[in-house]
Amino acid sequence: MMLTADAIRRRLLDAGSELAVTPIVASNQLRGASVDLRLGPDLIVTRRETGVVAFDPAHGQDMSERLREYQTYVRRPVGSAFYLHPGDFAIARSLEFITLPGDLSGQAAGRSSWGRWDW
């Protein structure tokens, strides 16, 4: 069963429900049967120029070092931009901290509202 925005809202307002999505900026983040999440300030970006193309999981220590060489941590101040160029790969986290109770599961899906803006 999918929860409607109303049901999600009720659960969020109930301290005993164990569902938390924090912080929420405005109530219209709850819409339809979903909660709009936002991109957080922390990103891990791959550095292709280091030339690392393969990892061997059999060498754990070596792998973590190579991963560190291959990736770079980027933190963007709130309100500033992060540009993802074609072919780039970045791992980001949501701005919101989420806890789900045992009887719920969530699904993250991309939105295209800004992409369709003015069409």
Closest-CA residue to 94 (of 34, 41, 45): 41
Strands (E) across 54-96 are located at 71-75, 90-94
Residues ≥6 apart with Cβ < 8 Å to 89:
45, 46
| Residue 20: CB minimum distance to other proteins, A | 5
Residue closer to other proteins by CB (options 105, 112) is: 112
Footprint on this chain of other proteins (rule: CB under 8 A): 4-6, 9-10, 12-16, 18, 20, 22-32, 36, 41, 73, 75, 77-79, 95, 97, 99, 111, 113-114, 117
Residue closer to other proteins by CB (options 32, 55) is: 32
